[in-house]
Every structure is written in structure tokens, then in C-alpha cells.
């Protein structure tokens, strides 16, 4: 039997790439899907099969693939140069735009990824406060910096008491000092979070929160939780920080516009690059001054060879100008229609499946209600492992790509057509996997 092109590519890949890929997210059995081209909401693989792409490269493509205006703008900049050792006008223009768009921003720095954004945000918090520790929520994903990935994926053998979770290394060999510098709190649990923060109040530089954490449950942090932590940081000299690398797409100014209080610092990435690698963080002027080498408060030298490169900034600014308030509203309305149709499919199929997420993000859970915290979600995914695998396989086989966590990111090129196809395919998928749901 003649091998297909994707099979041949995977055999080659396994010889030169660990596991056969540079990103574990793309690995699936019997082999990854290999893209040949993509446009708008559609992707075609190397065998010529077409998919509707609801992954949006893990949420980063707010306007889908190869948007003509973004490609044109990036191409025009490429002809002038891709990176310089000197500053550019686009850096200033994009900074001005983002500060006007996000109320909590007074200054901003551009970087190369969401991981870098959170990494440097935490280091700035330490430099500003002079304190060594940070706090984060159990199970929250903030990138791959060894500090911020602590307790990213603990298990029952390691996570400890729910009232005072352990700081668990994500990879082998993490120094004990790293673990000691990260305080873990339970998401949306006010009493236990405050008790833990109180026990470390003299050492905490910041607490960082994803306001709708993907890996935990994709439920928003409650108003009371956010307000209580914010008030605690005001009393105890710590910084209150948001990771909006994923959630910035939910509203015009990100999830933070839903809350009564503003973060001191916020990390961004994904959609602000227009499909190119980018990261950024911004916030209060007095905090960001620790990065200013001509300021008396200068404490943290920060550079990067490709930080603020004109390709990512040009594409990003173009994408953000296209994602103005009306576009945000229209995309969220389409997403609400998708939720309605998916809810109807769940009822027709009579399956114990629930939904979380807001705006243009939808996540499914194989449970009759959304898990309330990381630990509940852990057990749910473990118990439903076979059903989830079969469900993802069915979607891929029938031309739908989503994130492995059963998360769907919509983009502005989608229409009722794509949403109807999604709903019909999900209905069939629900019926297919119903016998495997525990």
C-alpha cells in the first residue's frame, strides 16, 4: 500500500525531532496533521484534506489564517527589513495604540512570546518590590519559565492539602529554591487563598491570575475573588497581575474590563501579533520605571534580539485595528450563537456535557457541570480519557480541528456556515462517544 504524505513526513520527523515534533500539541496518533496551506477559517493538509480550524493556533489567530490586510502590511515591511539594531516608528505607534486601548496601561514593553511576557512581568514585580516570591493558582498555565510553570500539572500524589497546595515541579530537576519561591493558591477559593497569602505576606512580590484559566476550567475568576485579592495586595505591598495572553480576545480591552479593579501589570501575547510571534506586558508607570536606564528607579536591564521587531508589530497593529469594538461584538455574538446550537446538540444527544468560556472561547467538559477547580477537572479528564480521545479523533476525521482540551477559538472570518457545520458535527460526535462517557 502506498504511504500517504503525512505518514512519510512523520517517519522522517521521528528521526530528527524528539517525539517527531517541536510542539507536543501537534502530536496525535497515528501521526500529526501536516498543514500545506490555510486561509481564513480553513486549513488544507498535505494529503489535500480540508478542515475548519477552531484551534486558531491555540487562540492566536483572531482573524484566521493569512488575512489579506495583515499579510499585505507585513510584506510591505519585510521589503524594508525584518529586524534592526535601532528603534522603529511602528514600536511607538503600537505602544500608543495599546495604551489607549487598555485602561490599566501607562507603559508597555514588547517581547517575543506569552512566556516571555509573564517571565519578565514577574521579574519586574520582584525588582519593584524587592521581594523574592510570587503566588499563582494551582493548575494555571502561564508559559514555560521554570518559576511560572510550578504546579502547572500536579497530581494527587504531589498536590497536597487543598487548603494549602504544594509547590510541585513541572519538570525533573527543578531546584528547590525555585519551588520555595512560588506560592500556590486554589483558584476562586477566597478563604484559603487569603490564608496562604497572609502566611507569606512579607515575601510576596506579586500574585498573578489568569482571569479565565484555560487549564483549570475556563471559568472566569469571580468578582469577589478578584476584589478580595486586589484589596489584600493594596494592604500588603504586593502587585496584582493578570495573564491575559489568551483572554485578551474576549473583550475589546480583555477580561480585565469585566472587573471593578485594575491589575498593576498585565501580560499579553497571541492575538496581538497578528499571526507572528509576540509578547508584551504593561501597566503602571511607576512600576515600569524599573526598566528605564535613565530613571533613578532603574533596577532591571531588559533587551531581546527580536523584541519589538517590525514584522510582528506591523502585523499586530493591523490585526488589532481590525479587531475594533464592532468586530469584537460581532464575533462574540456569533460565538453566543455557537453556544446555543451546541447546547441544543447536547440536549438532543442526551450526553452529560457542559460548556465554559466567554466571548470567542468555548470549552467543552465531559461532565454534567463545569468542574469548579483544577483538582475536579483533573479527575474528570482522567476518568473521561477514552471518551475525549475518541471525540477528538472523530472531529479530526470529520474535518474539525480544536485544541486538545476541547477548546474552540472562533475568529472573525467565520460565519453562520462554519458554526452550523460545527454544531452538526458535534451532534454526531456526541452520539458516537456517548457509550464511552462515564
Catalytic site positions: 141, 243, 270
Asked if residue 10 lies in contact with residue 20, where contact means CB atoms within 8 angstroms, the answer is yes
Element (H, E) at 96: helix 89-101
Among 345, 341, 362, 371, which residue's Cα sits nearest to residue 407? 362
Q: Reduced to 3 states, what is the DSSP secondary structure of residue 18?
A: helix
Distance CA 28, CA 237 (A): 46
Tell me, letter by letter, the H, E, C secondary structure of 124-161: HHHHHHCCCEEEEECCCCCCCCCCCCCCCCCCCCCCCC
Angle in degrees, CA 420, 355, 229, rounded to 5: 135
| Contact in structure between 335 and 324 (CB atoms under 8 Å) | no
Q: Decide if 242 contacts 266 (C-beta within 8 A).
A: yes
Give the strand order in the sheet containing 265-269: 107-111, 279-283, 265-269, 239-243, 204-209, 133-137, 182-185
Amino acid at each position: 500500500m502506498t504511504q500517504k504524505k503525512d505518514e512519510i513526513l512523520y517517519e522522517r520527523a521521528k528521526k530528527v525531532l524528539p517525539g517527531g515534533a517541536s510542539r507536543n500539541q501537534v502530536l496525535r496518533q497515528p501521526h500529526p496533521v501536516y498543514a500545506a496551506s490555510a486561509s481564513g477559517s480553513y486549513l488544507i493538509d498535505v494529503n489535500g484534506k480540508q478542515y475548519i480550524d477552531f484551534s486558531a493556533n491555540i487562540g492566536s489567530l483572531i482573524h484566521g489564517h493569512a488575512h489579506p490586510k495583515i499579510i499585505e502590511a507585513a510584506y510591505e515591511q519585510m521589503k524594508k527589513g525584518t529586524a534592526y539594531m535601532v528603534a522603529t516608528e511602528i514600536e511607538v505607534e503600537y505602544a500608543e495604540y495599546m495604551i489607549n486601548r487598555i485602561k490599566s496601561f501607562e507603559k508597555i514593553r514588547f517581547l517575543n512570546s506569552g512566556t516571555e511576557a509573564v517571565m519578565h512581568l514577574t521579574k519586574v514585580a520582584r525588582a519593584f518590590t524587592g521581594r523574592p516570591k510570587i503566588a499563582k493558582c494551582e493548575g494555571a498555565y502561564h508559559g514555560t519559565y521554570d518559576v511560572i510553570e510550578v504546579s502547572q500539572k500536579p497530581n494527587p500524589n504531589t498536590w497536597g492539602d487543598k487548603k494549602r497546595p504544594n509547590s510541585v515541579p513541572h519538570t525533573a530537576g527543578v531546584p528547590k529554591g525555585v519551588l520555595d519561591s512560588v506560592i500556590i493558591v486554589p483558584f476562586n477559593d477566597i478563604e484559603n487563598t487569603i490564608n496562604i497569602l497572609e502566611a507569606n505576606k512579607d515575601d510576596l512580590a506579586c500574585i498573578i491570575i489568569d482571569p479565565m484559566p484555560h487549564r483549570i476550567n475556563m471559568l472566569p475568576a469571580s468578582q469577589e475573588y478578584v476584589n478580595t485579592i486586589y484589596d489584600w495586595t493594596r494592604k500588603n505591598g504586593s502587585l496584582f497581575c493578570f495573564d491575559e495572553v489568551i483572554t485578551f480576545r474576549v473583550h475589546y480591552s480583555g477580561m480585565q474590563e469585566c472587573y471593578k479593579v485594575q491589575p498593576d501589570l498585565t501580560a499579553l501575547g497571541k492575538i496581538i501579533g497578528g499571526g507572528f510571534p509576540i509578547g508584551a506586558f504593561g501597566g503602571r508607570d511607576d512600576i515600569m520605571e524599573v526598566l528605564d536606564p535613565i530613571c533613578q528607579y532603574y533596577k532591571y536591564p531588559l533587551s531581546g534580539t527580536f523584541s519589538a521587531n517590525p514584522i510582528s508589530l506591523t502585523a499586530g497593529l493591523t490585526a488589532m485595528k481590525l479587531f475594533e469594538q464592532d468586530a469584537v461584538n460581532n464575533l462574540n455574538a456569533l460565538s453566543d450563537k455557537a453556544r446555543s446550537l451546541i447546547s441544543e446538540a447536547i440536549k438532543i444527544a442526551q450526553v452529560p456535557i457542559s460548556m465554559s468560556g466567554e466571548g470567542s472561547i468555548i470549552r467543552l467538559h465531559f461532565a454534567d457541570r463545569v468542574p469548579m477547580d483544577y483538582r475536579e477537572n483533573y479527575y474528570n479528564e482522567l476518568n473521561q480519557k477514552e471518551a475525549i480521545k475518541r471525540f477528538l479523533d472523530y472531529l479530526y476525521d470529520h474535518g474539525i480541528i480544536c485544541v486538545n482540551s476541547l477548546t474552540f477559538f472562533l475568529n472573525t472570518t467565520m460565519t453562520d456556515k462554519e458554526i452550523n457545520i460545527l454544531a452538526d458535527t458535534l451532534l454526531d460526535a456526541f452520539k458516537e462517544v456517548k457509550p464511552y462517557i462515564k
